[in-house]
Structure 1
């Protein structure tokens, strides 16, 4: 498996190098090679030890990386705990279902033993997200240019204001993504992470599409959703509009494999979220979806790798900005 991953690393090295030249060229592949040469191996070994036993953690870990980058940039702010005077990003509704913090804490503790005060939590999160997807689901192995530093600020309100929601329409989605320097292609490819995702029923996620969509009663459903899919969700999963706990796979039948099945279901109007369905409402995004369905898994892996590498360099702190946290849940004192 590692041999296959390294093949992808070489395939994408040119792309990663180009992105690492942005923002003053401060992120680079192998940033820790001289100061902590085993850093990436230590992170990978933590993932390899735990993820095969809990493969469902891969989806929330890649989502954690996404949510981190969309609030103040990729600075590890999503990892900070709340204090008596401040509710942190973890408290925001979009982040309450995130899991895998213990893996990040374990990797950080090992790195602090090996090379204290060197490897940032923001870099650990970026590396763990990549490694978890690869180890658990045979997903793409993309390069992660490193050199990020950790942020000092984390506010619940900023997470609510910046993380794109499952009820967003296309205009809202593209406004959110473009504010981070990401385009329609990035939106389509990054949405492909839903191929391994799960969600719970509830009005904050998708069940409003099944019940009282337009405010006319519980038999009123989202007309953009396939009727057979709606009927099955209501019969076997979200049996009541009050259900907030039942788990639903975003890519039924294929949620353990990182593949293009998500896009095929999307094209059949079986995307779980309104934000999924919104991808079909724009000609350019539909073009990319059609390309993905007609193309090979290698094309999807390459495009996803390019977009996630690009996202991983949004608003990074480098040089003397921020800090290198001693523990990922707390700022240094």
Structure 2
């Protein structure tokens, strides 16, 4: 394996996904770890999660991508401790002057005022209602949420405003918020997507080191659906040569757990994610690297990734078509080929605040 200048030994990064903390693409200088000149061997401590706080002026992020089903998102956190090595959001850490590698999963940014900012934006007269998506960049139910409860505070605001929300997560911590989500589901204001990438516990541990096990996520689907909350399973990403054989078993297990619909996406390797992914393959699955990377290039015109709309999520070519065909047939056979009911935007209302003059009507 070719080690980067900022390669971190396994004993220091136990329970992490990336192997290095290479400098982000916007930095003028590379940071290189060197010995201090003393002939004394030191045992370096394991990487710990560090959290800083950010006070955002705005929270709702508007997007105009034609291949997305929503036009606005919310992110309670920057970075994600789940450490999924393939995460396409890793390059966003470069905007902070941090590494998309290990910094992305160990140097997190929390936004404690998120709920207050969200309420202010929803009260604005110019605000036009449409479903908001949460979990499209970093997971709102990553471990940090257990103590910070920023996601829960945002859900309380959305419930008060009767605002529709779509949630995507791998985190079983979502079960904590079933009280809020079930209330919103009764009004057709919420739907949840649970991501399951593999049913192989060992592959899951290596590829998604701090994500709950596949079995545990299936149990979360059951708990949510039993509470009346509509859930779709998301096969994302499908990894050529590693998880592509599991499409049918994952869909079957999710259906048995109560999922009502299913979607899929192919592995995406934008910017710094590609070298991080290849280094991970070198360490964990060197015998499969050639097949994985050749299939990706086959789907993207010889490149490992193509950012063009309508191509970036599922690729193109014979292999991509085969995966799509298998998914479509399995989804239809299992009764997961319908879509979840569109969320209700007609219930939106701005709740009165203390001191507001009440309406006569």
Report which of the two has the higher share of strand: 2
TM-score by length of 2: 0.28
Report which of the two has the higher share of helix: 1
Tell me: higher relative CO, structure 1 or 2? Use CA pairs within 8 A at least 6 residues apart: 1
TM-score by length of 1: 0.30
Larger Cα Rg: Structure 1 or Structure 2? 2
